[in-house]
């Protein structure tokens, strides 16, 4: 019985290790990889490829719990070429009731 558990753990560890190059290949082929709902909470990985910098951007968006129909987001960058002082931003977007579109908001409160 212990031998089967060890084989299962080794197999799971192998599968977890093998997902890293698969995710890297998908990210390189598509340019982005999103997990979650497009209109709601999600995490998005995307490639940064400009003249000044190369790397990966990580965007996280989640709904706020303030009662307003808003999304709070943050973007962070991991660069392997190029540099910057402030590599990231936090923002808030709320749905405009008159148009139904997302607009930038000063705060999500």
Assess whether pLDDT exceeds 80 at residue 86. no
Tokens of 106: 């000063």
Supply angle C-alpha 86, 92, 93, rounded to 5.
Answer: 135
pLDDT of residue 75: 93
Contacts of 83 (CB under 8 A, 6+ apart): 53
pLDDT tens digit string along 23-74? 889 998 999 999 888 777 899 999 988 888 888 999 999 888 766 778 888 9
Tokens of 30: 């598509």
Domain boundaries, the chain: 1-30, 32-109
Tokens of 86: 């402030």
pLDDT tens digit string along 5-15? 999 999 999 99
pLDDT of residue 29: 92
């Amino acid at each position: 019985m212990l031998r089967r558990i060890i084989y299962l753990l080794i197999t799971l560890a192998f599968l977890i290790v093998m997902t890293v190059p698969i995710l890297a290949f998908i990210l390189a082929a598509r340019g982005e990889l999103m997990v979650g709902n497009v209109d709601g909470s999600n995490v998005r990985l995307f490639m940064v490829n400009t003249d000044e910098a190369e790397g990966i951007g990580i965007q996280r968006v989640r709904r706020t719990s303030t009662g307003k129909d808003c999304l709070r987001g943050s973007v962070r960058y991991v660069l392997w070429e190029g540099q910057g002082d402030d590599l990231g931003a936090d923002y808030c977007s709320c749905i405009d009731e008159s148009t139904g579109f997302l607009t930038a908001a000063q705060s999500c409160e």
